[in-house]
C-alpha cells in the first residue's frame, strides 16, 4: 500500500463568502494532516493536496458530501512522500488566473466545450478534421505535449485570450483542448465558443487522467505538475523525451526552478549542468547574492500567505465539519477524525 496519496481536483461551483470558506477550509485540511495548495474563489475550488491514504479519503468524502462539490473528479496518485511541505489555502478572484472574470461572458458552469473521456480523446485526436490544442504555458508544453499538438507562445494562462486571433485559421476544424487536469480547458473552451468556434471539445480530467485511463499514448515527454515533484510520467505505451537542457542542449526530462528567487524561472536542466550552475539558469543568477542552496531537486518551499479573515464560528457546527450540510452528516464525519 502506498504511504501517501496526492489528489488533483477542481470544481466550478458558486461559493458564498469565499474568504471565510478559505479560512475554514485551511483549518479543516490541517485537522486532517494534509499538505498542499488550494485556491478558493467565488466560482469554485482548485487544489492539489497530499497526505496519508486515510486522510485523503476522508478529505474526498467530505468534499463530495457537500452538494456544491458533489461532481468533483479527483485524480489520485500514489507517492512515496507528501508532495508538499506546508498547507496553503488562498482566496483569489479566480480558481485559475485567466482574466475572464465576467460570468455573463464566460461561465464554465453554463457552457463549455464537449467533455471527452480519455479513450474518446485518443480515438479523435488523429483525425484529419481535428486540431489538438495545448492551452498551457511555454514551460509546461516544452517539457511534454501531445504529438502534433498546436502549442501557444504564452508565459501564463492569462495570456490565452490574446491568442484567439491566431487560432482563427482553425475555425473550420474540431478543436480538442487539453491541459494538466482539465481546469484551464473549462474557460479556454468556453472562450472559444464565445468567439465563434463551433466544434470545441476538451479532455476531461486532462493529461493526468489520460495517463491513468488511456496509458498516455502519444503524449511525448513528461507532464509538469504544481507540487514538489515538478513533473510526472504519463506515457506507458510509447514514451519519448522531447525536452532539452537550457544550458547544454542535451536531452533531459528534468524540470527545475531557478535557484535565484528573484528569477525562479521554470526550465529544463540536466543533472550535470545543475551541479555546474548550482541550479541556476544563467551565470547572472548563479552570482546572485540571494541564490538558494541547490539540493538537486530544483524545488523550493514558498513562504505561506495566510488568509486575512477573522474567523467566525458557525453555530452548533465545528469548523472542521463545515462541508457537511446536516448534523447527521457532521456526526458521521466526526467519527472519521477521532
Q: Which three cell numbers stand for residue 289?
A: 547574492
Alpha helices in the chain (DSSP H): 18-32, 53-65, 118-124, 138-141, 164-167, 183-194, 206-214, 271-277, 283-286, 327-336
Buried b (16+ CB within 10 A) or exposed e, 103-118: eeebbbeeebbebbeb
Whether residue 140 contacts residue 224, with contact meaning beta carbons closer than 8 Å, is answered with yes
In order, the DSSP letters of 51-105 are E-HHHHHHHHHHHHHSGGGTT---EEEEESS-S-SSEEEEE-S-SS--S---TTT
Contacts 24+ apart (CB under 8 A), 262-267: 262/288, 262/290, 263/288, 264/300, 265/139, 266/139, 266/224, 267/139
Neighbours of 305 (CB within 10 A): 8
Query: Which 8-state DSSP code applies to residue 239?
Result: -
311-318 CB contacts, 8 Å cutoff, 24+ apart: 311/20, 311/23, 311/24, 311/27, 312/20
**Could you confirm whether 179 is annotated as catalytic?**
yes
**What are the two backbone dihedrals, phi and then psi, of residue 292, each rounded to the nearest 5 degrees?**
-80, 160
Whole-number Å distance between alpha carbons of 172 and 115: 19
User: Which among 225, 232, 184, 230 is positioned nearest to 211, based on CA atoms?
Assistant: 232
The three cell numbers locating residue 114: 464537449
Which cell goes with 97? 488566473
Cα separation, 303 vs 193, in Å, equals: 39
Choose the catalytic residue: 179, 270, 273, 285: 179
Residues annotated as catalytic (active site), given as ranges: 179
Amino acid at each position: 500500500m502506498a504511504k501517501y496519496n496526492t489528489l488533483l481536483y477542481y470544481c466550478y461551483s458558486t461559493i458564498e463568502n469565499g474568504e471565510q470558506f478559505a479560512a475554514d477550509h485551511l483549518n479543516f485540511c490541517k485537522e486532517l494532516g494534509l499538505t498542499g495548495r488550494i485556491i478558493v474563489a467565488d466560482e469554485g475550488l482548485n487544489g492539489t493536496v497530499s497526505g496519508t491514504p486515510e486522510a485523503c479519503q476522508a478529505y474526498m468524502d467530505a468534499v463530495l458530501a457537500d452538494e456544491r462539490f458533489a461532481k468533483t473528479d479527483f485524480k489520485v496518485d500514489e507517492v512515496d512522500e507528501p508532495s508538499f511541505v506546508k498547507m496553503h489555502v488562498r482566496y483569489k478572484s479566480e480558481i485559475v488566473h485567466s482574466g475572464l472574470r465576467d460570468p455573463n461572458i464566460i461561465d464554465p458552469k453554463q457552457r463549455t466545450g464537449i467533455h471527452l473521456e480519455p479513450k474518446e480523446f485518443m480515438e479523435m485526436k488523429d483525425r484529419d478534421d481535428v486540431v489538438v490544442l495545448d492551452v498551457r504555458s511555454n514551460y509546461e508544453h516544452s517539457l511534454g505535449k501531445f504529438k502534433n499538438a498546436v502549442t501557444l507562445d504564452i508565459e501564463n494562462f492569462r495570456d490565452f485570450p490574446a491568442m484567439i486571433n491566431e487560432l482563427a485559421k482553425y475555425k473550420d476544424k474540431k478543436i480538442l483542448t487539453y491541459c494538466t487536469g482539465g481546469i484551464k480547458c473549462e474557460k479556454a473552451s468556453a472562450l472559444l465558443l464565445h468567439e465563434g468556434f463551433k466544434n470545441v471539445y476538451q479532455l476531461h480530467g486532462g493529461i493526468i487522467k489520460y495517463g491513468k485511463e488511456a496509458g498516455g499514448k502519444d503524449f511525448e515527454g513528461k507532464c509538469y505538475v504544481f507540487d514538489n515533484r515538478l513533473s510526472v510520467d504519463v506515457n506507458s505505451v510509447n514514451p519519448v523525451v522531447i525536452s532539452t537542457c537550457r544550458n547544454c542542449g542535451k536531452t533531459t526530462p528534468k524540470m527545475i526552478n531557478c535557484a535565484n528567487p528573484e528569477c525562479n524561472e521554470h526550465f529544463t536542466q540536466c543533472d550535470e549542468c545543475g551541479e555546474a550552475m548550482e541550479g541556476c539558469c544563467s551565470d547572472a543568477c548563479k552570482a546572485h547574492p540571494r541564490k538558494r542552496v541547490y539540493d538537486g531537486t530544483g524545488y523550493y518551499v514558498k513562504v505561506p500567505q495566510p488568509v486575512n479573515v477573522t474567523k467566525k464560528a458557525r453555530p452548533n457546527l465545528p469548523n472542521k465539519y463545515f462541508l457537511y450540510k446536516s448534523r447527521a452528516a457532521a456526526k458521521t464525519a466526526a467519527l472519521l477524525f477521532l
